[in-house]
Amino acid sequence: MQQVNIKVYGIKTCNSMKKAFEFFAQHKIEYEFIDYKNCPPSFTFLESLDNHIALQNKGGLHCLINTKGTTYKKLKSEYPNIADAQDISKEMIIAHPSILKRPLILVQCNGDISEVLIGLEQLEYIISGG
**What pLDDT sits at residue 129?**
66
User: Could you give the CA distance from residue 51 to residue 60 in angstroms, rounded to a whole number?
Assistant: 7
Q: Which domains are seen in the chain, by residue range? A: 4-128 (3.40.30.10)
Spatial contact of 100 and 64, defined as CB atoms under 8 Å apart: yes
User: Could you give the CA distance from residue 80 to residue 30 in angstroms, rounded to a whole number?
Assistant: 42
Sign of CA dihedral 97, 98, 101, 103: positive
User: Could you give the CA distance from residue 74 to residue 99 in angstroms, rounded to a whole number?
Assistant: 10
10-61 tens-digit pLDDT:
999 999 999 999 999 999 999 999 999 999 999 999 999 998 888 777 788 9
78-100 tens-digit pLDDT:
998 999 999 999 999 999 999 99
